[in-house]
Amino acid sequence: MESIINQHAPEFTVQAFQDGNFKTVTSKDIEGKWALFFFYPADFTFVCPTELEDLQSKYDELKGMGVEVFSVSTDSHFVHKAWHDTSDRIGKLQYAMLADPLAVLSRGFGVYKEDEGVAYRGSFLVNPEGLVKLAEIQDNSIGRNADELVRKVRAALYVASHNGEVCPAKWQEGNETLKPSIDLVGKL
């Protein structure tokens, strides 16, 4: 398998539901911006609403960092609206819910589960140049943690703006980073 890290995000044009409206979202909408794509299997399921609500709890923080959030499933934008209108958890969502019924995004990011027609749980951070900087894919039976995802996003933004520095394990904003050099070899 080829890694998606530092590869260009796929080109796309999809329908979305956000703020009570339908809209079109394209790859041009993310040019020059940080974008977080949060794939999940399907609307009206069990683990998905818990994850999407958890991500909503971090939405203002992510927006404050200059990161736009897009949830993505293979459901239509009509189904997204119906779920939003009937679920208390999903009714809280402020970020765009992208509809990917043709699996353009799901296949493009390598998370499409062909035998079921749904996406695996995948989280991808795309930088302003359109390159994937963070990728996490897991089985659909395992929910994600928005706190840890935000920590990784903060680290990605930090290293993007601090050339030559890297973030060690469990790095939190304000903690020390490392500057790889011959002087560090064998000292960590």
Q: Write out the H or E segment, with its range, that includes residue 26.
A: strand 21-26
- Active-site residue flag, 167: no
Give the strand pairing for 121-126 and 34-39: antiparallel
Which residue is catalytic, options 14, 25, 35, 48? 48
CB-CB neighbours of 36 under 10 Å = 25
Provide the b/e sequence for 137-155 (b: ≥16 CB within 10 Å). Answer: eeebeeebebeebbbbbbb
Around 94, how many Cα atoms within 13 Å sit in the side-chain half-sphere?
A: 11
Length of the chain counted residue by residue: 188
Catalytic positions, written as ranges? 48
